[in-house]
Homo-oligomer: A and B are copies of this chain.
């Protein structure tokens, strides 16, 4: 069975946004065993969108549009699908109720233009959208189907990964392409490749490494269904885990922070943070984990030196000698946070995230110089890093490395 994507939006053609949704959907097609030979991108233009739909329906059984479902005049996916498959748009009271409910909760006035979002082609049914107004639509057309998904990323992703995946799986596709993802920290992409050189050349399963910020993801892929395919993936994953040891921190949807929360929860450990150059980003990442409140107690954002002293008890002498970007300061911050919140573990970050170097007491601190501190029940340590990149990259690497240092300590402390 062939599937085809039509990405809708003038902003895509103008290059104002990159089409990450289409890539995600392509991966989903592969996962559920749909062949995928064409993709089209068209602007917000009724006639061109209708033509694209007709072309897609002439060669593919499943046609999925992304975008153009909003309430405004340039959102024309609903009307274009209606025209292409010859089904009139009908108002759907259930959708309207859902919309009115959202608007009431957000305190936004209901306007007539909203009614457009409550219409759907007559034979279609709805994919619910918990994260936005416009629902997705499944529009059967003979033995083919047109599926309309919203474009905003926070609405598209949950719908694609949830109800759309379920729907596509329930159709009779071919052999699925299945894969498993291993996540690796502390080794670079080329180091990973070097240690797995023989496996990298395998054609079934295939291995593909992807470099991420401060970690490497390794996708193992094969085609097939059921236990045989699963066993094949697991055997290779097992070999890789043996070779790379604890550098493999997790798999699938696991993240470095979710793994840490699980480790600490199992051992009744608690965590606090003290952040300077990351400004709260480390705490933000830890608390993105559902259930983190069992482990994470709180923290301190100490952007100014006086605040480091007032909240964490960093001795002013540290600033007068080594400066705030130093091993001494990182350790004092971690120890102060641990002490003040009575936790078992505290992480600290202090560094130069800006793209200019700074000078403290005549000591040059280059852009990207970051110290990470860790206080545990038995010791207080710090680690010096020199990161490259812009403000955003330096901060992301600092957070990633702080998490890696904490995990390493927890592994050694079993």
Interface residues of A (CB under 8 A from B): 10-20, 22-30, 36-45, 48, 52, 55, 70-74, 102, 105-106, 108-109, 111, 113-114, 130-131, 152, 154, 158, 177, 179, 188-191, 193-194, 200-201, 208-213, 219, 221, 273, 275, 277-288, 290, 292-293, 296-304, 307, 310-311, 340-341, 353-355, 386, 388-393, 395-396
Contacts and interface: CB of A to CB of B under 8 A. Distances in A.
A139 to B, nearest CB: 22
B303 A280 contact: no
A147 to B, nearest CB: 16
B16 A208 contact: yes
Where chain A touches its partner, the secondary structure class is: mixed
Contact of A12 (B26, B28, B277): B26
A194 B113 contact: yes
Contacts of A211: 70, 152
Contact of A280 (B16, B43, B201, B299): B299
A165 to B, nearest CB: 13
A279 B20 CA distance: 28
B395 A288 contact: yes
B36 A219 contact: no
A303 B307 contact: no
A39 B37 contact: no
Contacts of A281: 280-281, 283-284, 287
A316 to B, nearest CB: 16
A278 B293 CA distance: 12
Nearest to A279: B287
Copy count, this protein chain: 2
A44 B177 CA distance: 16
Nearest to A44: B208
A27 B386 CA distance: 34
Contact of A283 (B42, B45, B188, B279): B279
B290 A280 contact: no
Nearest to A283: B280
A24 B15 contact: yes
Contacts of A278: 284, 287
A35 B414 CA distance: 60
Contact of A390 (B130, B304, B393): B130
Contacts of A42: 37-39
B209 A72 contact: yes
26 contacts: A12-B26, A13-B37, A13-B39, A15-B25, A15-B27, A16-B23, A16-B208, A36-B43, A39-B40, A39-B42, A55-B55, A71-B189, A71-B190, A72-B190, A111-B191, A113-B190, A130-B388, A131-B393, A279-B286, A279-B287, A280-B284, A281-B281, A281-B287, A287-B301, A288-B395, A299-B300
A73 B193 contact: yes
A295 to B, nearest CB: 9
Query: Counting chain B CB atoms within 10 Å of each CB, which of A19, A30, A55, A391 scores highest?
Result: A19
Given A72-B190, A303-B298, A37 B30 contact: no
B293 A303 contact: yes
Contacts of A113: 190, 193-194
A278 B296 CA distance: 12
